[in-house]
Structure 1
Amino acid sequence: MIGTIVNASAILAGSVIGSVVKKGIKEEYQDALYTAMGLAATVLGINNVVNNLPDSKYPVLFILSLAIGGLIGTILNLEGRFQNLVGKFSKSNLGQGLSTGILLYCIGSLSILGPIQSALNSDNTYLFTNATLDFVTSIVLSSTYGIGMALAAVVLFLWQGSIYLCAGALSHFISPELMREVSIVGGVLIGSSGLSILKIKDCRTLNMLPSLLVPIIWFAVRGFLFR
């Protein structure tokens, strides 16, 4: 699991560096960073959707995923529970930053396929590449939201660690088609985080997280019925 450890460590290191930099940044400059982070998340989300939607074999699946997942998340009040939990430890917008960071770190081909490559082929190329990208991202995020962004490293470690341990079973299930559909939904969620940061629309992105499970369930059921 050396690749996952390096990836999580990169986020921790970036969070420390960014939080140190934050202390010397004026409030007006911090506002500029918020805007930059919001624009970046929005563009990254749109890019994910644009790159994957044209090749989707189920172009309506992401709509159903967002509708079903958003409804389930709202019923469970995931956003409210998460914000209340984070609010006990921080009065800043840390919850918003963490939700954005977790999506950026965990939802992507490198972060999902990387642990599988590492477990089955002892190849950490994907994870080392992901670590480099996450290092830069974590510096920007923590310079905006503070050292609390380091908590995202724990989530990433658990996420990639679980995939690593289940790599044998997942390698046959995670197909390019599934990755494409998850990337589309993930792109929409990342973009919605950007809109929330820019204060254009509070999309309550965390309530939509169950949407990521809908394509997985769809492909699992489809595989079972048509095997």
Structure 2
Amino acid sequence: MFGVLVNVLTVCIGSVVGLVLKRGIPTKVTDALMTGIGLCTVFIGISGALEGKNTLVLILSMAIGTVIGTLLDIDRQLNRLAAWVEARFKRKNDQVTLAEGFVAASLLFCVGAMTIVGSLQAGLTGDCEMLYTKAALDLISSCVLAASLGFGVLLAGVFVLVFQGGLVLLAGFVAPFLTDYAIREMTCAGSVLIIALGLNIIGITKIKVADYLPVILIPPLLCLFM
């Protein structure tokens, strides 16, 4: 769990720095930085998606996971949670809602190859090296995101703790299902969602990425039979 705590700490530090510097950074600069982060996010997603070796597993995972996520309406539930907090913290004339910052940051920090593989690796072997690397990247990302999206990015640290911590604790239970093959396909599925998130950050699309989160959990089950 130490690697997860380090990651949460870097997210909080980066977010605080971004919030402090927010007023001193011109809007055009933060907009440009957000576009840059979005492009990097797309690149990270494409790189991870290439880890997959079985397109059929990805297609079936996307279909099954999308149905589950849509029926559960995960995106709306996350937005309701963030909106509940927003009602207590929102300031006048905010251009970006706390909910938007919370959801975008939570997905960016938690949906991806490094999150899944790093957390599982830490839980199974105690090796936190990948989580430390992710923490360094999240330090920079959270600073830029907080400067643009506000206080919601800081709250995303709680989601990082719960999500990554849960993966670490559950690693021992799911170990029998996590072959190298299954991990590659999980990485691929998660990376496709990262691409969607990057496109959202740039402003090209408005995909409800949270509704697709169950997609990441389907590949290990399919890999048992394929």
Report the TM range for the smaller structure's normalisation.
0.7 to 0.9
1:216 maps to 2:220:
yes
The offset of 1:213, in angstroms, is 1.9
Distance 1:44 1:119, change over 3 A: closer
1:127 matched to which residue of 2?
Answer: 131
Taking the aligned partners of 1:82 and 1:168, their CA distance within structure 2 comes to 27
Tell me the amino acid that sits aligned with residue 24 of structure 1.
G
Taking the aligned partners of 2:129 and 2:201, their CA distance within structure 1 comes to 32
Tell me the amino acid that sits aligned with residue 222 of structure 1.
F
The offset of 1:78, in angstroms, is 2.1
1:152 maps to 2:148:
no
Taking the aligned partners of 1:113 and 1:95, their CA distance within structure 2 comes to 27
Cα pair 1:163 1:170 within 8 Å, conserved: no
The offset of 1:122, in angstroms, is 4.2
Distance 1:110 1:71, change over 3 A: closer
Q: Number of paired residues?
A: 218
Tell me the amino acid that sits aligned with residue 34 of structure 2.
Y
Deviations 1:174-219 (A, max 9, x none): 2221121111111111111122222322221112112112213324
Tell me the amino acid that sits aligned with residue 65 of structure 1.
S
Tell me the amino acid that sits aligned with residue 2 of structure 2.
I
Bigger mean CA offset, 167-176 vs 40-49: 167-176
Deviations 1:130-178 (A, max 9, x none): 2222212211221221132122221221223223333433333322211
The offset of 1:14, in angstroms, is 1.0
Taking the aligned partners of 2:103 and 2:141, their CA distance within structure 1 comes to 14
Taking the aligned partners of 2:214 and 2:123, their CA distance within structure 1 comes to 27
2:22 matched to which residue of 1?
Answer: 22
1:76 matched to which residue of 2?
Answer: 72
TM-score, scaled to structure 2:
0.82
Percent identity between matched residues is: 34
TM-score, scaled to structure 1:
0.82
Cα pair 2:113 2:191 within 8 Å, conserved: no
Distance 1:199 1:154, change over 3 A: same
Task: Say which SS state the counterpart of residue 70 (structure 1) adopts.
Answer: helix
Deviations 1:49-84 (A, max 9, x none): 1x313xx1x211112222222222223322233224
1:52 matched to which residue of 2?
Answer: 51
Bigger mean CA offset, 145-154 vs 113-122: 113-122
Taking the aligned partners of 2:120 and 2:196, their CA distance within structure 1 comes to 28
The offset of 1:116, in angstroms, is 4.6
Distance 1:76 1:134, change over 3 A: same
When the two chains are superposed, the root-mean-square deviation of aligned CA atoms in Å is 2.5
1:33 maps to 2:29:
no
Which ranges in structure 1 are unaligned for 5 or more consecutive residues? none
Taking the aligned partners of 1:184 and 1:17, their CA distance within structure 2 comes to 32
Cα pair 1:103 1:186 within 8 Å, conserved: no
Task: Say which SS state the counterpart of residue 23 (structure 1) adopts.
Answer: helix
Taking the aligned partners of 1:121 and 1:32, their CA distance within structure 2 comes to 40
Taking the aligned partners of 1:103 and 1:139, their CA distance within structure 2 comes to 16
Bigger mean CA offset, 7-16 vs 122-131: 122-131
2:200 to 196, 203, 211: 196
Taking the aligned partners of 2:24 and 2:77, their CA distance within structure 1 comes to 32
Taking the aligned partners of 1:33 and 1:207, their CA distance within structure 2 comes to 26
